[in-house]
Amino acid sequence: MPTMNIIQAVNNALRIQMAAEPKSIILGEDVGKFGGVFRATSGLYDEFGEERVIDTPLAEAGIIGAAIGMAVYGMRPIPEIQFSDFIFPAFDQIVNELAKFRYRSGGQYPCPVVIRTPVGGGIRGGHYHSQSPEALFIHTPGLKVVIPSNPYDAKGMLLASLRQDDPVLFMEPKKIYRASRGEVPEEDYTVELGKAKVVREGNQVTLIAYGAMVSVIEEAAAKAAEIGISCEVIDLRTLMPFDIETITESVSKNGRAVMVHEAPQTCGFGAEVCTSLYERCMAHLEAPIQRVCGFDTPFPYSLEHEYLPNADRVLGAIRKTLEW
């Protein structure tokens, strides 16, 4: 079984889908001859041609608007937004058109658009190339939101997304695009959307994260184990719909939890996760759920590693919940 990074896994999934489904079309800025700014679409232009791998102008609203039109007429477009920070010009198209097509048509018109976009910090990109806007889209009924943390899930969940008849926002954590490596089958397979994964079992504190922060909580759990603290690590994988059953079972068992994401804390997705757990686990909780998040500031240039959650900050939250 070959070893891949996330970029290679995404590229492999796109190649499989394009070969299997002639109605699939990739479009976006620099996705064709250049192969994408992160090379996620490398080689696809030569293999499938300019009519199926389309370089577009720098116009995100146009990219998504064109994709919606294609989908309504029976195509299966896969638009790329070069950085998630650039998605805001297309916000109206996504939340007011794409997300509502099936509902407004009484189920007559599915809109199978999978929007790929790199998300988050970790590449010294500053405040225009490092944001994590997932909560804005999780708040929009009609969209599924997916953020994988490793190559195996990236390929399997992207292929699962591409077989949906409803829109999916597939956000790829660029900090670990090449840092996360693992064995990935060459053949076609899918990973079910809406299912979290217990990465590490433990019986004292539940650690919850997604995307690039999963490796952070794994490191924190390893450090905690060195001082005799047992942590369960859960990768949410799909944020909408998220797997409330798996995290409820874990938190009910352990009585303590820490939620981690790199987006700003206020109104971040972690707030919804924590509230959902309070509604279901209040009788089992031994301490308030802790959050370790980015700060409520624009993403910084020079203090990126102070802004992003790290294992030591998570370990501090683990200690706090145990000392309550």
Sign of CA dihedral 97, 101, 105, 106: negative
- How far apart are alpha carbons 55 and 19 in whole angstroms? 19
DSSP state of 93: I
Q: 265-305: per-residue pLDDT in tens? A: 999 999 999 999 999 999 999 999 999 999 999 999 888 98
Task: Answer whether residue 191 is part of any domain.
Answer: no
Paired with 117 in beta bridges are 171
Task: Answer whether residue 251 is part of any domain.
Answer: yes
Read off the tokens for 59. Answer: 């116009």
What is the overall mean pLDDT for the chain?
A: 97
What mean pLDDT is predicted for residues 176-198? 97
Q: Pick from 122, 148, 183: which residue ends a domain? A: 183
Task: Answer whether residue 203 is part of any domain.
Answer: yes
* pTM more than 0.85: yes
Asked if 118 and 227 sit in the same domain, the reply is no
Asked if 21 and 163 sit in the same domain, the reply is yes
Asked if 156 and 204 sit in the same domain, the reply is no
- Closest listed residue to residue 137, CA positions, set 158, 115, 105, 121: 115
Residue 166 pLDDT grade (very low, low, confident, very high; cuts 50, 70, 90): very high
Asked if 8 and 91 sit in the same domain, the reply is yes
Asked if 66 and 91 sit in the same domain, the reply is yes
Question: What total number of domains does the chain contain?
Answer: 2
Asked if 220 and 163 sit in the same domain, the reply is no
Evaluate if residue 1 carries a pLDDT over 90: no
Asked if 179 and 204 sit in the same domain, the reply is no
Asked if 112 and 250 sit in the same domain, the reply is no
What mean pLDDT is predicted for residues 123-128? 89
Verify cis geometry, omega within 30 degrees of 0, for the bond prior to 148. Answer: no
Q: 7-57: per-residue pLDDT in tens? A: 999 999 999 999 999 999 999 999 999 999 999 999 999 999 999 999 999
Paired with 233 in beta bridges are 200, 207
Q: 229-265: per-residue pLDDT in tens? A: 999 999 999 999 999 999 999 999 999 999 999 999 9
Asked if 174 and 221 sit in the same domain, the reply is no
Task: Answer whether residue 274 is part of any domain.
Answer: yes
Known catalytic residues are 129
Task: Answer whether residue 188 is part of any domain.
Answer: no
Neighbours of 272 (CB within 10 A): 17
Residue 217 pLDDT grade (very low, low, confident, very high; cuts 50, 70, 90): very high
Asked if 45 and 171 sit in the same domain, the reply is yes
15 by Cβ neighbours in 10 Å (0-12 / 13-18 / 19+) ranks as middle
Asked if 58 and 121 sit in the same domain, the reply is yes
CB 48 within 8 A of CB 32: no
Evaluate if residue 109 carries a pLDDT over 90: no
DSSP state of 105: T
Residue 250: give its domain's CATH number.
3.40.50.920
b/e 130-155 (16+ beta carbons within 10 angstroms → b): bbbbbbbbbebebbbbbbbbbbbbbb
Sign of CA dihedral 304, 288, 194, 264: negative
Task: Give percent of the chain above pLDDT 70.
Answer: 100
Range of the domain at 93: 3-183
